Structure 1
Amino acid sequence: MAADMLKVSDFGRTQYGMTGAPRQAMINYGKVLLVIAGADGEVSPREYDWLIEHQRKFGAPEDVIAEYEKFDYRSADLHNLLDDIRTDVATWNPAPHLIYHAIQMCSADGEYAAAERSKVVRAARALGVSDDTVLTLHALIQMEKAVYDMRAALFRVAVLE
């Protein structure tokens, strides 16, 4: 691994097939998600908490995460942030991953309103992610939630009377 690369967690390795990413890539990845989630002028506390939890799970160090607190997502340029997002996998494309995570982040408060869906679609188009891929990502997230709910129902203790 190159000297400028930060190691990712086991979660990052198994979920995304990478072993490392540069510090600036980790910073910018979270900043892009803030720009997308904040396209309506606000990132809700639950959306922000989702981002922090995800980045910690991925292996981002605290100094990377601290960058999000002072970041002005309302005036940031999405495309300028994308330039530095890369990993140790040459074929990895950040755009569909960002949209996948933006959908999850925008849904973190239990609601995925039409306005939020619209801003994700606009961001996807700006990033070059096709409408078909966006529809597929929405379906994937719904399936993942259904599987999670099924697993929770199966393994929770229920009182039957």
Structure 2
Amino acid sequence: MSEFNIDQEIIQASPLATTIHSCKEVQSKTWMDYVKALLAIAGADGEISQEELDWVFSDFLEVIGASDEEIEEVKKFDFKNVDLAELLSNLDINVPMNYKRTLVYDAVMMARADNVYSQQEKEAVWKAAEILGVPYFIARTIEGLVNTEKSLEMIRKSLFELEEEGYPIVDLDKLNMKPASILERNTFGVKLTCEQTQRNYGFALMIIAGADGVISEAEKNWYFEQFVKVSNTPKEIAKEVMEYDFSKGNLEEVIDNLKVDVTINFKRTLLYNAIKMASADAEFPEQEKEATDRVAKLLDISEDIAQTIYYLVDTEAKIAKMRTTLFEYN
């Protein structure tokens, strides 16, 4: 099995999906059965909403790169006439995590995608947990974890102004912009992007992370394994950013070059990601703290909002540790 590289901080995506993305040896039929189990649980109330289907296709199938044939098979699956006990009893996924608990987690996430977690769906989740041998108290703990993550999601949406009814932006081609990926949007709060933005965004992150004189391997890994992969940054730009001489970089100039970006949430997301990268090695030296404070001032982010973003990153890190513990990553 290949090494598990993608960090669990990719909050929106299914934990198992991100693992499968790294562990290519997971058999297609196995994770297809996993997806079908999710459909059966979410459809326990007699129907599967469009929001729940969107979760399956965006947060699972899109992440693992499912083929058109596999996607079509999922679409045709008759979730109303399936023996859930038989399906779950035959489920066996060779991944470095407790996939039975992630199934409970993903089932809750999917069931709540339409903001309705009905009693029938709850009972289906508890039944699935029982069949899988997941204790009831663990299932309820996982439900609590999902509730917490949903609350954080609402905070991110508000801070980054990601609400769907936000201001539409037209003529993207003329602006040389393109819509960000779903994961990039939900994880990093970026609605639109372009190569110039990705390049200068990376430069800014490197300057801030290197404010203490060095960019640690953990910080480099965060940029490459999380930011580059999730944002679909072209390899040549990622290479340019990784080789960038941050010691000679001028943060004010780089940020000034970023003003071509037209996303209404952009300034706060840069501060958010700068903090995440700078703290990736579990240390946040005073120089890096000063650099991120300077970013906040340069971007005209008020002190109260900046502190809120600091607390958000800290809370997300704690939740990530909780997930790691619950899902028993090897």
For the aligned pair, the TM-score class normalised by the smaller chain equals 0.7 to 0.9
Q: Displacement of 1:84 after TM fit? A: 3.7
> Which residue in the other structure is 1:117 paired with?
289
Percentage of identical aligned residues:
31
The 1-side partners of 2:308 and 2:212 are apart by: 24
Note closer, same or farther for the CA distance 1:123–1:17 as it changes in structure 2 (3 Å cut).
closer
Q: Displacement of 1:44 after TM fit? A: 1.7
1:82 aligns with 2:231: no
> Which residue in the other structure is 1:28 paired with?
200
The 1-side partners of 2:253 and 2:285 are apart by: 27
The alignment of Structure 1 onto Structure 2 pairs a total of residues equal to 154
Structure with greater helix share of residues: 2
Q: Displacement of 1:94 after TM fit? A: 2.6
Pairs within 5 Å for 1:21-100: 21-53=193-225, 54-85=227-258, 86-87=260-261, 90-100=262-272
- The gaps in structure 2 that reach 5 residues or longer are 1-171
Q: Displacement of 1:107 after TM fit? A: 0.9
Cα deviations by residue, 1:135-155 (Å, 9 ceiling, x for unpaired): 111110121122222223333
Deviates more, 1:9-18 or 1:58-67: 9-18
For residue 228 of structure 2, what is the amino acid of its counterpart? Answer: Q
CA contact (8 A) 1:27 1:65 kept: yes
For residue 83 of structure 1, what is the amino acid of its counterpart? Answer: D
CA contact (8 A) 2:207 2:251 kept: yes
CA contact (8 A) 2:190 2:265 kept: no
For residue 239 of structure 2, what is the amino acid of its counterpart? Answer: A
Deviates more, 1:119-128 or 1:33-42: 119-128
- The gaps in structure 1 that reach 5 residues or longer are none
CA RMSD of aligned residues (A): 2.3
The 2-side partners of 1:72 and 1:114 are apart by: 21
For residue 256 of structure 2, what is the amino acid of its counterpart? Answer: D
Q: TM-score, normalised by structure 1?
A: 0.81
Note closer, same or farther for the CA distance 1:66–1:7 as it changes in structure 2 (3 Å cut).
farther
Cα deviations by residue, 1:59-111 (Å, 9 ceiling, x for unpaired): 11111101113322222222222234344xx4424322111111111111121
Identify the match of residue 2 of structure 1 among 145, 161, 173.
173
Note closer, same or farther for the CA distance 1:64–1:80 as it changes in structure 2 (3 Å cut).
same
Note closer, same or farther for the CA distance 1:47–1:155 as it changes in structure 2 (3 Å cut).
closer
Note closer, same or farther for the CA distance 1:24–1:117 as it changes in structure 2 (3 Å cut).
same
> Which residue in the other structure is 2:131 paired with?
none
Note closer, same or farther for the CA distance 1:66–1:39 as it changes in structure 2 (3 Å cut).
same
> Which residue in the other structure is 2:312 paired with?
140
Cα deviations by residue, 1:13-56 (Å, 9 ceiling, x for unpaired): 334262x4121111000001111111222222221221122122
